[in-house]
Amino acid sequence: MAERILIVEDNKTLAKLIAKKIGAELDFEVDMAHSLSETKLFLSRYNYFLTLLDINLPDAPNGEVVDYVIEKKNHVIVLSGNIDKDFRNKMLKKNIIDYINKSGVNDVNYIIQMIKRVQKNQNHKVLVVDDSLVFRKQMQSMLENMFFKVITVAHGEEALGMLNANPDISLVLTDYHMPVLNGLELTCEIRKNYTKNDLAVIVVSIDNDEETTALFLKNGANDYIKKPFSKEEFSCRINNSIEALENIHAITNHASRDFLTGLYNRRYFFSNMPAYFEKAMNENEYFAIAMINIDHFKKINDTYGHDSGDKIINTLADILRANTNQNDMVSRFGGEEFCVVVKNTSKNSALKIFEKLREMAQNSTTLSDKGEVIKFTVSIGVAINQEDTLEESVNQADMMLYNAKQNGRNQVVHN
């Protein structure tokens, strides 16, 4: 069931415009209230992902709706035509996500972008490092209101331990002057293991010396926020750093993934597997490399069309992905050829896995665009780690695949 957004706006035309835009671009159910009394009824009935609140309502002309909705533990974006600076600052001191002026279509577009942003923020974990309990709580509150998952610690040494325990942290917010390990030392330690493309670091410090700012940026910080800061500056800098990280990951993902199946591609395989290969050989960890090829794939394309051929490739990709472990490597080398590395396994266990994959491919059913049932089989060549290099192991698996094809297809052959 889709989550809900509540729009509270006495201008019914504007409320419908925002609701229509949200409905067209986002997967939310949208409710509209035009007064505080209607707002109370909706909040008593539903839970909301987000509320968009006008502050001048017929029965609440002075922003009373904001306090009421916040009191009910809801996330709030304020919509207002009031451009008075003091009033704006007063509103921003409340526990709201943002204060947006209602002046035109661009503001409606900004609302949509902000909703998309906080949706994505749910996927990110932020580590706050500050020896001041007051600032830790302040930043935690603001970050959680922006939908981030938040962890807080008091100094740099604790932060390093938390990073080891939570490798999925996207952003570290650190103070400069702290006991045990200060912010600069922490930043340097982080950059030994994480690049700017892996993890963002933002320094939040009362130190206003420009040389200090430059020192942090030269040593790997993504940004520097000076205390005291405004809520809007804080939010913008945090969101900008996270968006930059997401964009880099999207570009990297595009370069390392096969466009059709979403599996890793040949380039990624040969960039990342050598490190594992070397580690496994040094530690005597057994693994198996398999080359997998769809039998008579040209005939499938000629008979049912290339779109159906793509469906067969995706069917096999799904089988490979669903029946291997998360740490295994599943990649598409091109065309109808795949490579699977089963890690930390015995020879017998690996061969059972590949035999299961062969059987599942044989038993699968794919429909053509015309509704025709398409059956297919695969040949699999397996090399257990006995070669000196990764390339030799892949070539060995390729040789076993050739033997499987020569021996009649639809079988697993190993060295």
Q: Per residue in 197-233, pLDDT tens?
A: 999 999 999 988 889 999 999 999 999 999 889 999 9
CB 404 within 8 A of CB 379: yes
* Assigned token pair, 105: 């279509």
Q: What pairs with residue 51 in β-bridges?
A: 6, 76
* Assigned token pair, 127: 């580590």
> Which are the catalytic amino acids?
336
Stretch among 53-57, 83-87, 202-206, 232-236 having the lowest mean pLDDT: 83-87
Mean pLDDT of the chain: 94
Backbone torsions φ then ψ of 200, nearest 5 degrees: -90, 140
At residue 385, does pLDDT exceed 80? no
At residue 296, does pLDDT exceed 90? yes
Q: Is residue 75 very low, low, confident or very high in pLDDT (cuts 50, 70, 90)?
A: very high
Contacts of the segment 95-101: beta carbons below 8 A, 24+ positions apart: 95/70, 95/141, 95/145, 96/66, 96/70, 96/145, 97/50, 97/145, 97/146, 97/235, 98/232, 98/235, 99/232
- What percent of the chain stands above pLDDT 90? 87
At residue 105, does pLDDT exceed 90? no
At residue 363, does pLDDT exceed 80? yes
- The closest alpha carbon to 395, from 333, 349, 348, belongs to 333
Task: For the chain, list the domains and their CATH numbers.
Answer: 3-118 (3.40.50.2300), 122-255 (3.40.50.2300), 264-414 (3.30.70.270)
Q: Which pLDDT does position 31 carry in this prediction?
A: 97
CB 176 within 8 A of CB 182: yes
